[in-house]
Amino acid sequence: MSDMQNGREAWASRIGLILAMAGNAIGLGNFLRFPVQAAQNGGGAFMIPYFVALLLLGIPLMWVEWSIGRRGGQLGYGSAAGAFGALVKSRGSAKLANYLGALGISIPISFAIYYTYIESWTLAYSTFSVTGKYFGILDRASMLNFLQSFQGVTNSEHFAGFGTAIVFFLITWALNVYVLSRGIAQGIERLAKIAMPTLFIFAIILVARTWTLGTPSPEMPENSIINGFGYLWNPDFSQITKAKPWLAAAGQIFFTLSIGTGSILTYASYLKRKDDIALTGLSTSITNEFCEVILGGSIAIPVAVAFFGLTETKEIALGGAFNLGFAAMPIIFQKLPWGQLFGAMWFVLLFFAGITSSVALCSPAMAFLQDQMKMTRKKAAMVVGAVLLLCGLPVIFFLGHGFLDEMDFWAGTFGLVVFAMIEVILFAWLFGMKRAWTEINEGADIKIPGVFKFIIQFITPVYLIGLLFAWGVQDGVPVLLMTGKPSADVPYLWGARLMMLSLTVISIVLIARAYKRGTIRDEVAPDLRG
């Protein structure tokens, strides 16, 4: 591959593409969210709905996004605004599809806003591990207070106010903007070639250290790594008949593969017409699953059982991914020889997982500004950076009022399902499954089983519609009306919603300007073969 094609940037190498796509998919969810979700939803039984969701949602949608992105890139579109319109057969429908593509800009940038802040915590804690700042705190309540005081939610002798959190946020923000400003080959691809091998090496070292722990407290032989794996993987089949594990598994697949964010679409837009997407997309999925199930499932929960016992680990899992990663793990590192080193490895691993994902989440907005607004990459990076900074500050200051959690639900959960549903309906039904199947297999290095043609056209959209329906019936009205939320938090939650809505409106306005400039055209599903 060269680093330019059709006047647009391109990937410099296939390995760089695979690593960048893997970096997009492999994020904090692999090492923090996945083990907690598995532990909360039936242990080994969770893997049944998990792998069903992978086969019926994850891999099919991966191929759909790769196909839409590669096709859009040939027409000069690096985001859904443009690429969507090129899938339909009438000009009126094409315009509507492109305006729906605004979600492919606003959802990932909203996701990136709060994700970058969480990512900055991992950078801070890697520093705290090296310096030993949290060493001496040996109970979870105090360690949680340490985290909350770092975040500015509470005060303690360790931190005063938001100062330290803002410093690390600014460092993380600057690194993201720098990578984005360097371009596809020199920025994103180069980052992936450094971050992903380092991530895998650190993860393998930590897994090896986990397996050698045995029983840290001989007087409590039940607190062992083996029992930790048993807690995580022994199946509770009574959970299979409940809706919650199925919804949780589907949500985890969306989160872990980064489908429904538009970032895969954007990365695929820098491919050439004959570049394979079948094998490369599958390789990305398999790499992510190895990292999540084998590596992510072998560190935090088993270690927690070994040091805290099964009862307390269940409490940690119920407390969520942040309690596991930032309140439990730092205590464990203090009980290990070379704990500062292993702590630094853990948080650097999380930081690399985070930054490769956050730059991917910013890429749809970057591509739109470059392709349709005709900005230079550096100017586009400055604009995206300004959005991350200005919108990131409320996330920092109003964290204690649920601002981040509100954004995480609408942008990082609900929005992904809605956007993926729009994608698959446009691709399989309006573009047409016959043409869609040809598109997926164009230049393919493997033969995709024909059953996936049926899955993409029928099973995947029905699955997505069913998820949205189930959410609407079970939780829709209470969530919309903020039932049960503290009254003091409600104005801040509305502020989070208003900010995300504003980003969508701005995206729609920019699409309208692109139409006037002639940088978005009603392509009406042109034939690109030949």
Is the pLDDT confidence value at 456 over 90? yes
**What's the confidence (pLDDT) of residue 1?**
47
Is the pLDDT confidence value at 473 over 90? no
Is the pLDDT confidence value at 5 over 60? no
**What's the confidence (pLDDT) of residue 229?**
92
Average pLDDT over residues 467-492: 92
Q: 5: which strand partners? A: 8
Q: Lowest mean pLDDT: which of 153-167, 333-347, 513-527?
A: 513-527
What would the pLDDT profile of 357-379 be if each residue is shown by its tens digit?
999 999 999 999 999 999 999 99
User: Which spans in 372-432 are helix H?
Assistant: 377-397, 403-409, 415-425
In percent, how much of the chain has pLDDT > 90? 82
Average pLDDT over residues 197-220: 90
In percent, how much of the chain has pLDDT > 70? 98
Second-level CATH architecture of 15-517: Up-down Bundle (1.20)
Q: What is the CA radius of gyration of the chain?
A: 22
428 close to 456: Cβ distance less than 8 angstroms: yes
499: closest CA among 411, 374, 414, 375?
411
**What's the confidence (pLDDT) of residue 2?**
46
344 close to 126: Cβ distance less than 8 angstroms: yes
Q: What string of H, E and C letters represents the secondary structure of 228-279?
A: HHHHHHCECHHHCCCHHHHHHHHHHHHHHHCCCCCHHHHHHCCCCCCCCCHH
Q: How far apart are the C-alpha atoms of 125 and 146, rounded to whole Å?
A: 11
Q: How far apart are the C-alpha atoms of 492 and 506, rounded to whole Å?
A: 21
Other beta carbons within 10 angstroms of residue 409's beta carbon come to 16
Other beta carbons within 10 angstroms of residue 384's beta carbon come to 25
Per-residue confidence band for 90, with pLDDT thresholds at 50, 70 and 90: confident
Per-residue confidence band for 247, with pLDDT thresholds at 50, 70 and 90: confident
CB proximity list for 391: less than 8 A, separation 6 or greater: 110, 113, 499, 503
What would the pLDDT profile of 172-195 be if each residue is shown by its tens digit?
999 999 999 999 999 999 999 999
Question: What predicted TM-score, i.e. pTM, was given to this entire model?
Answer: 0.95
Question: 524: which DSSP letter?
Answer: -
The residue ranges of every structural domain in the chain are 15-517
**What's the confidence (pLDDT) of residue 3?**
56
**What's the confidence (pLDDT) of residue 529?**
59
Q: How far apart are the C-alpha atoms of 175 and 181, rounded to whole Å?
A: 10
What would the pLDDT profile of 105-159 be if each residue is shown by its tens digit?
999 999 999 999 999 999 999 999 999 999 999 999 999 999 999 999 988 888 9
191: closest CA among 204, 182, 200?
182
DSSP structure string for 482-510: TTT--TTTHHHHHHHHHHHHHHHHHHHHH
256: closest CA among 462, 37, 455?
37
Other beta carbons within 10 angstroms of residue 157's beta carbon come to 7
Give strand ranges (E) for 180-228: none
Per-residue confidence band for 475, with pLDDT thresholds at 50, 70 and 90: confident
**What's the confidence (pLDDT) of residue 56?**
97
**What's the confidence (pLDDT) of residue 523?**
65
Burial tier of 73 (Cβ tally within 10 Å: 0-12, 13-18, 19+): buried
**What's the confidence (pLDDT) of residue 4?**
56
User: Which spans in 329-371 are helix H?
Assistant: 329-334, 339-371
Query: Residues, the chain, total?
Result: 530
Angle at 372 between CA 392 and CA 412, to 5 degrees: 35
Amino acid at position 144, single letter? L
Looking at every residue in the chain, the average pLDDT score rounds to 93
Q: Is 173 helix (H, G, I), strand (E, B) or coil?
A: helix
What would the pLDDT profile of 34-82 be if each residue is shown by its tens digit?
999 998 888 889 999 999 999 999 999 999 999 999 999 999 999 999 9
Q: Report how far apart, in Å, the C-alpha atoms of 22 and of each of 375, 503, 514 are.
A: 28, 27, 31
